[in-house]
């Protein structure tokens, strides 16, 4: 059977943007930011998105579009080396680690969504905010496991539909819905009392803090930048492998990075005015993964029309999460299909069965060797895997593909001139890997 391709250019852009836009923008970003010193973190993070993110996206696109296989087959065929093929398995493992915790958080959101629509907001706000109360029951244990299964099933359902009728069709509906709803929510939130103070808090830029903490925030900021753009996981290699027409990759990469940033900014414009209007200080809400939910659920509970707003908000988050989780599942699935000739159905069933178990570990969240599994997987583990994964792709493009990478980048209508493409290859082959190794070392040290 011929390998599937995207039906349209817009289809590819929306699928890739759908992968990028996700829990990283709405859920992970605020708590990682809060845990790492706020505005100093933000500045470094934005710099990395621009200087590492866009060239990094292009590196994965070049490998995918030229290789026309899953990361395993693409790296092997383009290098003619089985060693690189073996390295490709690293991305399959990363994808499974990602999906394991992502599906658990997706489950929390599904639950908040369902309960919002059916009157969750009737409970007193103190109930949501009290530690160990509402969120404590949602976050870990049998309930968390059950909702993880539900979210995983939804993810599998889309991926079962294949590239065109599953992923492309799904993201073509999900992405516009996310954008429209978020803009509506941001406009509504802007009219809340206290919105001005919220904007000031959110957008405050403090040079002194950036200077003082630069090296401390480098690692987490790089991790978040890669996470939010779906870089280093092999997702963008996989999605680009389904492109069949030649067109300007830099244009696509820029649109995808811009959409991802736009959604992050919009989410902040919704969340912070909401919290401020109710006198919740975002810096004071409990740090860590629960921060957003505890504060927000309590906020919705106090609002006039809170049911509608809460339902719309969690609806947005469900769609954003789903359009990302499908891109994670597609990596191991494409690997099994390309390398072992498995049918899509079998491949999806096999991977999903594995993630039921690995996600279960995140859902029950035992403490192993003094470390709670969920927080470890969702933070340091994933950050490290993505950074190492991207370094390898960059080195591959710079040193193994070399001229071929330049040719691939430049091919297609409106492709960049050599004057633009050559510095890109230099950055990808040398500057960015050195920088990323440095961020890794600051994390370890
Ligand atoms: N970019 C997604 C988000 O922001 C997460 C993701 C990471 C998706 C890696 C695919 C691969 O939520
Ligand atoms: Na993102």
Q: What is the secondary structure of 100-169 as a DSSP string?
A: HHHHHHHHHHHHHHHHHHTTGGGS-HHHHHSTTSHHHHHHSSHHHHHHHHHHHHHHHHHHHTHIIIIIIH
Ligand 1, residues at Cβ distance < 6 Å: 19-20, 22-25, 98, 227-228, 230, 233, 235, 324, 327-328
Give every CB contact of residue 78 below 8 A, 6+ residues apart in sequence. Answer: 63, 66, 67, 84, 396, 400, 401, 404
Question: What letter would DSSP give residue 21?
Answer: S
* Predicted pLDDT of residue 413: 81
Least confident of 25-39, 125-139, 354-368: 125-139
Quote the ligand 1 centre to 208 CA distance (angstroms).
Answer: 31
Closest ligand to C-alpha of residue 21 is: 2
288: left (phi over 0), alpha (psi -120 to 50) or beta: left
Token pair in block for residue 158: 């889309």
Q: How far is CA 337 from the centre of its chain?
A: 24
With a cut of 90, say whether residue 409 has pLDDT above it.
yes
With a cut of 70, say whether residue 7 has pLDDT above it.
yes
CA–CA separation, 51 vs 36, rounded Å? 21
With a cut of 60, say whether residue 287 has pLDDT above it.
no
Atom of ligand 1 at shortest distance to CA of 19?
Answer: 8
> Looking at the 3D structure of the chain, how many domains does it have?
1
Assigned domain for 260 exists: yes
Residue 167 confidence class, pLDDT cut points 50, 70, 90: very high
Give the model confidence (pLDDT) of 168-184 as tens digits. 999 999 999 999 999 99
More confident residue, 27 or 147: 147
Atom of ligand 1 at shortest distance to CA of 228?
Answer: 4
Assigned domain for 129 exists: yes
Give every CB contact of residue 445 below 8 A, 6+ residues apart in sequence. Answer: none
Give the model confidence (pLDDT) of 415-443 as tens digits. 888 888 999 999 999 999 999 999 998 87
* Predicted pLDDT of residue 124: 59
Quote the ligand 1 centre to 119 CA distance (angstroms).
Answer: 30
Is the CB of residue 220 less than 8 Å from the CB of residue 48?
no
Mutate which of 90, 235, 316 for ligand 1? The one with the most ligand atoms within 8 Å of its CB, which is 235
* Predicted pLDDT of residue 62: 97
* Predicted pLDDT of residue 77: 98
Quote the ligand 2 centre to 175 CA distance (angstroms).
Answer: 12
Assigned domain for 218 exists: yes
Assigned domain for 2 exists: no
Residue 37 confidence class, pLDDT cut points 50, 70, 90: low
Supply the pTM of this predicted model: 0.93
Mutate which of 316, 318, 324 for ligand 1? The one with the most ligand atoms within 8 Å of its CB, which is 324
CA–CA separation, 397 vs 173, rounded Å? 33
More confident residue, 220 or 331: 331
3-state secondary structure of 151: helix
Sign of CA dihedral 114, 118, 122, 127: negative
Question: What letter would DSSP give residue 367?
Answer: E
Mean pLDDT for 28-46 is 74
Is the CB of residue 405 less than 8 Å from the CB of residue 397?
yes
Closest ligand to C-alpha of residue 102 is: 1
CA–CA separation, 394 vs 382, rounded Å? 18
From start to end of 171-294, where are the E strands? none
* Predicted pLDDT of residue 223: 87
Q: DSSP assignment of 3-44, as one string?
A: PP--SSHHHHHHHHHHHHSSHIIIIIHHHHHHHTTTHHHHHH
Most confident option among 270-279, 359-368, 393-402: 393-402
Residue-averaged pLDDT of the chain: 89
Mean pLDDT for 331-346 is 97
Assigned domain for 67 exists: yes
CA–CA separation, 184 vs 192, rounded Å? 13
Quote the ligand 2 centre to 23 CA distance (angstroms).
Answer: 7
With a cut of 90, say whether residue 159 has pLDDT above it.
yes
CA–CA separation, 134 vs 297, rounded Å? 10
Assigned domain for 19 exists: yes
Quote the ligand 1 centre to 24 CA distance (angstroms).
Answer: 6
- Tell me which residue range forms the domain holding 327: 9-444
Quote the ligand 2 centre to 257 CA distance (angstroms).
Answer: 9
Closest ligand to C-alpha of residue 227 is: 1
CA–CA separation, 272 vs 277, rounded Å? 8
Burial class from Cβ neighbours inside 10 Å (0-12, 13-18, 19+) for residue 62 reads: buried
Nearest residue to 13 (alpha-carbon basis) of 340, 247, 192: 247
Burial class from Cβ neighbours inside 10 Å (0-12, 13-18, 19+) for residue 303 reads: middle
Residue 31 confidence class, pLDDT cut points 50, 70, 90: low
Quote the ligand 1 centre to 321 CA distance (angstroms).
Answer: 9
* Predicted pLDDT of residue 276: 77
* Predicted pLDDT of residue 283: 57
3-state secondary structure of 372: strand
Q: What is the ipTM of this complex?
A: 0.98
Percent of the chain topping pLDDT 90: 60
Assigned domain for 46 exists: yes
Give the model confidence (pLDDT) of 65-124 as tens digits. 999 999 999 999 999 999 999 999 999 999 999 999 999 999 999 988 988 888 765 565
Closest ligand to C-alpha of residue 109 is: 1
* Predicted pLDDT of residue 379: 85
Mutate which of 15, 24, 240, 323 for ligand 1? The one with the most ligand atoms within 8 Å of its CB, which is 24
CATH number, domain at 240? 1.10.4160
Most confident option among 22-36, 212-226, 351-365: 351-365
Give the model confidence (pLDDT) of 302-317 as tens digits. 777 788 888 999 999 9
Beta pairing class for 367-368 and 371-372: antiparallel
* Predicted pLDDT of residue 55: 97
Atom of ligand 1 at shortest distance to CA of 23?
Answer: 12
Assigned domain for 4 exists: no
């Amino acid at each position: 059977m011929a390998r599937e391709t995207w039906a349209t250019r817009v289809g590819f852009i929306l699928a890739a943007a759908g992968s990028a836009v996700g829990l990283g923008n709405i859920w992970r970003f605020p708590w990682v930011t809060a845990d790492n010193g706020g505005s100093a973190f933000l500045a470094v993070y934005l710099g990395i998105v621009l200087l590492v993110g866009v060239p990094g996206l292009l590196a994965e696109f070049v490998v995918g579009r030229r290789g026309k296989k899953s990361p395993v087959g693409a790296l092997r065929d383009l290098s003619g080396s089985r060693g690189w093929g073996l390295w490709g398995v690293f991305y399959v493992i990363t994808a499974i680690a990602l999906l394991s915790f992502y599906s658990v958080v997706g489950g929390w959101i599904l639950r908040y969504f369902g309960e919002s629509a059916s009157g969750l907001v009737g409970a007193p706000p103190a109930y949501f905010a009290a530690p160990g109360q509402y969120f404590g029951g949602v976050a870990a244990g049998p309930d968390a496991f059950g909702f993880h299964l539900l979210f995983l099933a939804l993810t599998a359902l889309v991926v079962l539909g294949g590239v065109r009728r599953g992923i492309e069709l799904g993201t073509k509906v999900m992405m516009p819905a996310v954008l429209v709803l978020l803009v509506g929510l941001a406009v509504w939130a802007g009219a809340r009392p206290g919105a001005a103070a919220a904007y000031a808090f959110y957008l405050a830029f403090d040079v002194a803090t950036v200077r003082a903490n630069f090296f401390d925030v480098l690692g987490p900021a790089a991790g978040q930048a890669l996470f939010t753009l779906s870089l280093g996981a092999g997702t963008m290699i996989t999605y680009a492998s389904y492109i069949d027409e030649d067109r300007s990759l830099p244009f696509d990469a820029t649109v995808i990075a811009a959409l991802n940033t736009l959604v992050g900014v919009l989410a902040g414009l919704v969340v912070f005015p909401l919290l401020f209007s109710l006198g919740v200080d975002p810096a004071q809400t409990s740090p860590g993964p629960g921060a957003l939910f505890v504060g927000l659920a309590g906020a919705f509970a106090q609002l006039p029309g809170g049911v509608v707003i809460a339902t719309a908000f969690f609806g947005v988050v469900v769609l954003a999460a789903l359009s990302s989780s499908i891109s994670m599942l597609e990596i191991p699935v494409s690997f099994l299909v390309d390398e072992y000739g498995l049918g899509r159905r079998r491949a999806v069933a096999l991977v999903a069965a594995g993630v039921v178990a690995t996600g279960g570990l995140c859902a029950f969240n035992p403490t192993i060797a003094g470390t709670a599994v969920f927080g470890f997987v969702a933070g340091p583990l994933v950050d490290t895997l993505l950074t190492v994964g991207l370094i390898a792709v960059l080195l591959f493009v710079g040193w193994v593909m070399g001229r071929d990478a330049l040719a691939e980048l430049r091919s297609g209508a409106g492709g960049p001139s050599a004057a633009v493409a050559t510095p890109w290859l230099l950055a990808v082959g040398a500057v960015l890997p050195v920088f990323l190794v440095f961020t890794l070392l600051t994390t370890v040290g």
